[in-house]
Amino acid sequence: MTSEPQDETGAPARATPAEEGGDRHCGFAALAGRPNVGKSTLLNALLGRKVSIVSPKPQTTRTRIHGVLTRPDMQIVFVDLPGIHANQTRAMNRYMNRTALSSLADSDVNLMVVEALRWTDEDERVLDELKRAARPILLLVNKVDRVHPKERLFQYLADVAPKAAFAELVPISATRRSGLNRLPELIARHLPLSPLLFPADQVTDAPERFMAAEIVREKLMLRLQEELPYGIFVEIEGMGESEDEPGKLVVQAVIWVERTGQKSIVIGKAGERLKEIGRAARLELNRHFGRHVHLELWVKVKEGWSDDENALRKFGYES
């Protein structure tokens, strides 16, 4: 005779929504904040895999990226947004702010990410926009592993708590993955009951060409640092099976820069820097696609593309 399943109290266990074929808590949670507070690192940590590129440079994320976390009783669609910032001198900056702000009212819950012990004018602006969106706000205080002694963190939390009617205030460290275990549960409380929004095994809706371009751009930003932090765009011109080696993926990418002088910076002496960037990108592309990748890179110039609305649209930066 088979006994009935029991929970940890000894009572009959309830079926999960998935087992019952019913709805679960499903919805969108936007990651909002000023640049460089760790939103993309947090997204990758929550999903357990990389879907958003990261670098030490602010404004690495340029467009919204969806990451999907599915569990038996919930599905959270995280929306990684560009950092909301005050500098809007270029068309690219204005595009990033529009992209971020337009997503706040469309989400079911907004996650404001700040850096422990810091509260800037840009943080204040982000909070004002979140209040205007009129969605529940969870304040995530990131980088708490850097705070010593810990008493300083307690005072910081006491200082920021009255700034808004936060639904939750959660200290976390995205790099150490501390404080993240209960976060999905806290978020799911603010999501409606509905059928799954994405297939249960889907982690992102980003096209593979987009992911390939982002991986190359990340390696560029990591290698170039101060020399060429923003004026680059990676366009995938070709992507498909190798005709000579079955099973190998061929990726052909163009690195667009804004000035002729930047082209030589990317290429480096005797092409060594471009080769180094290509090697790093190829290794990560191998891991991402789970197969051998042949990567071909070219560098071309498009004068002032980041301040040209038409060029932004050509490159796919549509509001």
pLDDT higher than 80, residue 17: no
Least confident residue range of 87-96, 162-171, 175-184, 257-266: 87-96
Least confident residue range of 189-198, 222-231, 246-255: 222-231
Mean pLDDT, rounded, for 22-36: 93
| Residue 306 pLDDT grade (very low, low, confident, very high; cuts 50, 70, 90) | confident
d(CA 84, CA 103): 12
What is the three-class DSSP state of 265?
Answer: helix
Mean pLDDT, rounded, for 8-21: 41
| Helices (H), ranges, 26-142 | 39-47, 91-104, 121-133
- Hey, which CATH number is domain 208-314, 3.40.1030.10, 3.30.300.20, 3.30.70.660, 3.20.20.60? 3.30.300.20
Number of H helices, E strands in the chain: 10, 10
- Under CATH, which number does the domain 17-194 receive? 3.40.50.300
Percentage of the chain modeled with pLDDT above 90 = 73
Rg (CA), the chain: 22
Mean pLDDT, rounded, for 41-59: 92
pLDDT higher than 80, residue 79: yes
Comparing 84 with 292, which gets the higher pLDDT?
292
Are 71 and 46 within 8 A, CB to CB? no
pLDDT higher than 70, residue 304: yes
Q: Say what the pLDDT of residue 319 is.
A: 55
Closest Cα to residue 110, out of 85, 132, 95, 88?
Answer: 132
Comparing 136 with 105, which gets the higher pLDDT?
136
Q: Where in the chain is the domain with CATH 3.30.300.20?
A: 208-314
Are 184 and 195 within 8 A, CB to CB? no
pLDDT for 179-209, tens place per residue? Answer: 999 999 999 999 999 999 999 999 999 999 9
Q: Is the dihedral of CA 113, 118, 123, 127 positive or negative?
A: positive
Q: Where in the chain is the domain with CATH 3.40.50.300?
A: 17-194
Closest Cα to residue 113, out of 52, 22, 72?
Answer: 52
Neighbours of 178 (CB within 10 A): 13
pLDDT higher than 80, residue 10: no
Specify the pTM.
0.88
pLDDT for 99-130, tens place per residue? Answer: 888 889 999 999 999 999 999 999 999 999 99
Mean pLDDT, rounded, for 271-276: 96
Burial class (CB in 10 A: 0-12, 13-18, 19+), 153: middle
